[in-house]
Amino acid sequence: MNERVLILENINVFEFLGTHNQNIIHIKSLFPKLKIVSRGNEIKAYGDLDVLDVFEKRFDALINYFNTYNKLDENIIERIVLDETINKDLTNEVLVHGVSGKLIKAQTQNQRLLVTASENHDMVFAVGPAGTGKTYTAVALAVRALKNKEVKRIILTRPAVEAGENLGFLPGDLKDKLDPYMQPLYDALRDMIPFERLTEYVERGIIQIAPLAFMRGRTLDHAFVILDEAQNATHPQMKMFLTRMGKSAKFIITGDPSQIDLPPRQDSGLIEALLALKMVKGIAIIHLDEKDVIRHHLVRKIIEAYKEITPK
């Protein structure tokens, strides 16, 4: 008898197999000519080669569906196995199918420009005020690239400006001290990746979240890298970060030049980079504005009001 062994990797095995193994039991019922044995993350199937080939193809389709939509049930299993189709009812605008089926996509024209720029350039600057979705869209692009196996890891970083030289006075270990500054990045990821899988990715280093200073000396290959709050990067920090770019890497740099927290005599590395790199081929610069604000409607009005009193 012929044997086929399939390994469930980078997937929540318990959710995929279903409560009390209901999903795998239903899959077995749809392949009566095969003997299918499930142990842990290993699926073994025994039977004729032609049936095994069909089983492997359908099983891969089920895995791809689960990785995309974060869910699997009997109806989906039957549609994929029996109809030989995978749900393709979503347009290219959808970047990621988030937790609980949440559809994550660009919602404004400039956000769509950011998506297009990232698809056509290895380095993109996304500049605009708070609430314009620049970080959230960038994280969605990174998660999509990881799911599509276009990159091997995601690296998210921010300048820990508020911490500065005072980290030692904050309670807890280094992670406890730095986590508050990285929280917005965690929040975006939790919308897009189930908690257990996100925890696994972080533990395995597939997703890395660290202060900008920790990027020094690294070469970032096969990675989707996001520098957030880049307006608080100094000139040396920005130059250091931009030159970390390795092979098959994507970089997105997000920032708001109107919210610089650096000391008064310290120039923002983001503003310098925008001036220095605006004509460099292969680098795109996308400007977002109050029209892209997707938070509470008052946020847009607040941004507009402050623009009126800000010195030109």
Q: Could you say which of 28, 51, 83 is where a domain stops? A: 83
Could you tell me the residue range of the domain that residue 132 belongs to? 94-309
What is the band of 87 on the pLDDT scale with cuts at 50, 70, 90?
very low
Degrees, nearest 5: CA angle 299-301-304: 110
Block residue for tokens 């299918």: 36
Predicted pLDDT at 45: 94
Burial of 256 (0-12, 13-18, 19+ CB in 10 A): buried
**Residue 200: inside a domain:** yes
**Residue 88: inside a domain:** no
Q: Could you say which of 26, 51, 83 is where a domain stops? A: 83
Task: Tell me, yes or no, whether 107 and 252 share the same domain.
Answer: yes
Task: Tell me, yes or no, whether 140 and 258 share the same domain.
Answer: yes
Whether 143 shows a pLDDT value over 90: the answer reads yes
Give per-residue pLDDT as tens, 27-58: 998 888 899 999 989 999 999 888 898 899 88
Average pLDDT value for the chain: 85
Q: Radius of gyration of the chain from Cα atoms?
A: 23
**Residue 89: inside a domain:** no
Task: Tell me, yes or no, whether 100 and 165 share the same domain.
Answer: yes
Predicted pLDDT at 163: 40
The CA–CA distances, whole Å, from 114 to 7, 106, 158, 252, 254 equal 36, 9, 20, 9, 11
Whether 85 shows a pLDDT value over 90: the answer reads no
Query: Which pTM value belongs to this model?
Result: 0.67
Task: Tell me, yes or no, whether 115 and 251 share the same domain.
Answer: yes
Which of residues 93 and 212 earns the better pLDDT score? 212
Task: Tell me, yes or no, whether 282 and 228 share the same domain.
Answer: yes
Whether 106 shows a pLDDT value over 50: the answer reads yes
Which of residues 312 and 54 earns the better pLDDT score? 54
CATH number where 42 lies: 3.30.1370.10
CATH number where 287 lies: 3.40.50.300
> Going edge to edge, which strands form the sheet with 42-47?
2-7, 42-47, 35-39
What percent of the chain stands above pLDDT 70? 88
Mean pLDDT computed over 56-61:
89
**Residue 281: inside a domain:** yes
What is the band of 162 on the pLDDT scale with cuts at 50, 70, 90?
low
Number of domains in the chain: 2
Q: Is 103 helix (H, G, I), strand (E, B) or coil?
A: strand
Mean pLDDT computed over 97-126:
88
Give per-residue pLDDT as tens, 13-24: 999 999 899 999
**Residue 44: inside a domain:** yes
The CA–CA distances, whole Å, from 182 to 9, 141, 227, 229 equal 28, 18, 11, 10
Task: Tell me, yes or no, whether 171 and 213 share the same domain.
Answer: yes
Give per-residue pLDDT as tens, 216-265: 989 999 999 999 999 999 999 999 999 999 999 999 999 999 889 888 88
The amino acid at residue 164 is G
Q: Is 291 helix (H, G, I), strand (E, B) or coil?
A: helix
Are the CB atoms for 12 and 196 separated by under 8 Å?
yes
Task: Tell me, yes or no, whether 24 and 101 share the same domain.
Answer: no
Residues 6+ apart with CB under 8 A from 129: 256, 258, 259, 288, 289, 290, 293, 303
Mean pLDDT computed over 80-93:
53
